Chains A and B, each alone.
Chain A
Amino acid sequence: QKEVEQNSGPLSVPEGAIASLNCTYSDRGSQSFFWYRQYSGKSPELIMSIYSNGDKEDGRFTAQLNKASQYVSLLIRDSQPSDSATYLCAVRGSSGNTPLVFGKGTRLSVIA
Chain B
Amino acid sequence: GAVVSQHPSRVICKSGTSVKIECRSLDFQATTMFWYRQFPKQSLMLMATSNEGSKATYEQGVEKDKFLINHASLTLSTLTVTSAHPEDSSFYICSAVRQPNTEAFFGQGTRLTVV
Write the residues of chain A forming the contact surface with B, with a CB cutoff of 8 angstroms: 31-32, 34, 36, 41-46, 49, 51, 88, 90, 92, 96-97, 99-100, 102-105
- B42 and A99 contact, CB distance less than 8 A: no
Chain B residue numbers with a CB within 8 Å of A90 are 104
Residue B106 at the A interface, CB < 8 A? yes
- A99 and B107 contact, CB distance less than 8 A: no
A103 touching B43 in the complex, CB below 8 Å, given contacts A46-B1, A92-B101: yes
A43 touching B107 in the complex, CB below 8 Å, given contacts A97-B31, A102-B44: yes
Number of chain B residues whose Cβ lies closer than 8 Å to a Cβ of chain A:
26
A4 nearest CB neighbor, chain B only = B43
Cα(A42)–Cα(B109), bound, Å: 7
* B113 → chain A closest CB, angstroms: 13
Chain B residue numbers with a CB within 8 Å of A99 are 34, 46, 49, 104
- B44 and A44 contact, CB distance less than 8 A: yes
Across the A-B interface, give the 5 residue pairs with the lowest CB-CB distance, nearest first.
Answer: A96-B100, A43-B109, A104-B43, A43-B106, A97-B32
Cα(A34)–Cα(B101), bound, Å: 11
B93 nearest CB neighbor, chain A only = A43
Cα(A31)–Cα(B1), bound, Å: 21
A101 nearest CB neighbor, chain B only = B46
Q: Which chain B residues (57-86) contact chain A, with CB distance < 8 Å?
A: none
Chain B residue numbers with a CB within 8 Å of A105 are 43
- B106 and A100 contact, CB distance less than 8 A: no
Chain B residue numbers with a CB within 8 Å of A88 are 43-44
A32 nearest CB neighbor, chain B only = B101
- B109 and A97 contact, CB distance less than 8 A: no
